[in-house]
Amino acid sequence: MELERLTIDWIRQILGFNAEAGGLFVSGGSMANLAALAAARQAKDDPSGRLRMYASSATHFSIAKAAALLGIGRAGYVPFCVVGNAGTVDTGAVDPLAEIREVANRFQLWMHVDGSYGAFAMLAKSAKKLFAGMEQADSIALDPHKWLYLPVDVGCVIYRNPEIARAAFAHEAEYTRMFGEEADEAFACWDYGPELSRRFRALKVWMLLKGVGLDSLREAIESNLACARYLESMVQASDDFEMVAPVELSIFCFRHVPVQHRSASPQAIDAFNERLLVALQRDGSSYLSNATLGGRFALRGCVLNYRTTLRDMEILLDDLRRVARLFTPA
């Protein structure tokens, strides 16, 4: 617990949150979002139970799932929370967080930021300005097993005011009462989140920050961002690929449109890229996932490995062209 408290405070400092902020490690971004929204509901303390939350259409589905688990549903009338994205999962877009904070202040709403994918990119100098205002959120969800390059099963939630979270989660059972004169000794993780039994997630985060350090993390994240921008530049310079969304962080969404498909219908181009994705995955040299943007199918790549290079981006396009030729008539 001492290591967890220390490491959470390091993350608090990285994000620029207030000194009183605190939090804990959870299983992942979905659980972090759930814990944060439970605290947001507690802060509103509306007896009617008819609560409404606001989020963009690109917000991760775990937000809607958390709302359903908390009994908030989709038909409330009392605004209580607004969710900002610090890197959406489909395109890596970052919401205007400072403006969202102003709206939240005006209407006395809890501001939660889902930074599960993108928040740690604020370590990179080239991306830091995108995250202005994030440090003013009431809560934030993070996934160290994404952009801290750690193995899965370590998410993180940070609360601006941890006592609100404690009011949402604490249950004064005698068998869980903590004794201790120091804050770390008396800290009960189950009073600030949904889990009672939990594994030692803090150790690998502590080891990374202690052993690797922020300078090396900054360099790695900058390199990932550069890879995505390089891929975008190659696509824009080509005559057989097209971008579907602009690159903001390390996610790129694009399509392969060889010359013989340019006059095809949008549906035919979608179908071609779907077949291409499956063939690429089976080929085994490069790997992409997919996204649907504006009703159109897109190939989606996400650079989240410190070993990925610019050359890998070149190989990716070469692989796509090579695989496409296997089922495209000359």
The range of the structural domain enclosing residue 204 comes to: 2-212
Q: What is the pLDDT of residue 180?
A: 59
* Domain end (from 188, 212, 236): 212
Q: What is the pLDDT of residue 174?
A: 56
Which one-letter amino acid corresponds to residue 261? Answer: H
The answer to the question of residue 14 being in a domain is yes
Q: What is the pLDDT of residue 82?
A: 96
Query: Which string of DSSP letters, residue by residue, matches 125-178?
Result: TTTGGGGTTGGG-SEEEE-HHHHT-PPSS-EEEEESSHHHHHHHH----GGG--
Q: Confidence band (pLDDT; 50, 70, 90) for 329?
A: low
Residue with tokens 């290079």: 309
Q: Is 280 exposed, middle or buried, given 0-12, 13-18 or 19+ CB atoms closer than 10 A?
A: buried
The answer to the question of residue 283 being in a domain is yes
| Higher pLDDT pick, 87 / 172 | 87
* Domain end (from 212, 233, 259): 212
Tell me, yes or no, whether 133 and 9 share the same domain.
yes
* Domain end (from 189, 212, 235): 212
| Higher pLDDT pick, 189 / 141 | 141
Q: Confidence band (pLDDT; 50, 70, 90) for 183?
A: low
Strand (E) or helix (H) holding 229: helix 214-237
Tell me, yes or no, whether 235 and 206 share the same domain.
no
Q: What is the pLDDT of residue 140?
A: 98
Cα torsion through 32, 59, 150, 134, rounded to 10: -70
Q: What is the CATH number for 100?
A: 3.40.640.10
The answer to the question of residue 330 being in a domain is no
Tell me, yes or no, whether 159 and 303 share the same domain.
no
> d(Cα 318, Cα 330) in Å, to the nearest integer?
17
Segment 35-48, tens digit of pLDDT? 999 999 999 877 66
Mean per-residue pLDDT, 216-227: 98
Question: 268 Cβ partners below 8 Å, 6+ apart?
Answer: 261
Q: What is the CATH number for 251?
A: 3.90.1150.170
Tell me, yes or no, whether 80 and 45 share the same domain.
yes
Tell me, yes or no, whether 47 and 77 share the same domain.
yes
Here the tokens at position 226 are 């550069």
The CA distances from residue 103 to 55, 108, 114, 161, in Å, are: 13, 8, 17, 19
The answer to the question of residue 87 being in a domain is yes
Tell me, yes or no, whether 273 and 191 share the same domain.
no
Tell me, yes or no, whether 73 and 184 share the same domain.
yes
Tell me, yes or no, whether 318 and 175 share the same domain.
no
Segment 276-312, tens digit of pLDDT? 999 999 999 999 999 999 999 999 999 999 999 999 9
Most distant pair of Cα atoms in the chain: their distance: 77
Mean per-residue pLDDT, 18-24: 96
Q: What is the pLDDT of residue 185?
A: 63
The answer to the question of residue 49 being in a domain is yes
| Higher pLDDT pick, 64 / 234 | 234
The answer to the question of residue 56 being in a domain is yes
What is the number of structural domains in the chain?
A: 2
Tell me, yes or no, whether 158 and 221 share the same domain.
no
Tell me, yes or no, whether 107 and 165 share the same domain.
yes
Tell me, yes or no, whether 171 and 246 share the same domain.
no
Whether this model's pTM surpasses 0.85: yes
Tell me, yes or no, whether 66 and 122 share the same domain.
yes
Segment 107-165, tens digit of pLDDT? 999 999 999 999 999 999 999 999 999 999 999 999 999 999 999 999 999 999 999 99
pLDDT value at 187 more than 90: no
Q: Are strands 110-115 and 78-85 parallel, antiparallel or unpaired?
A: parallel
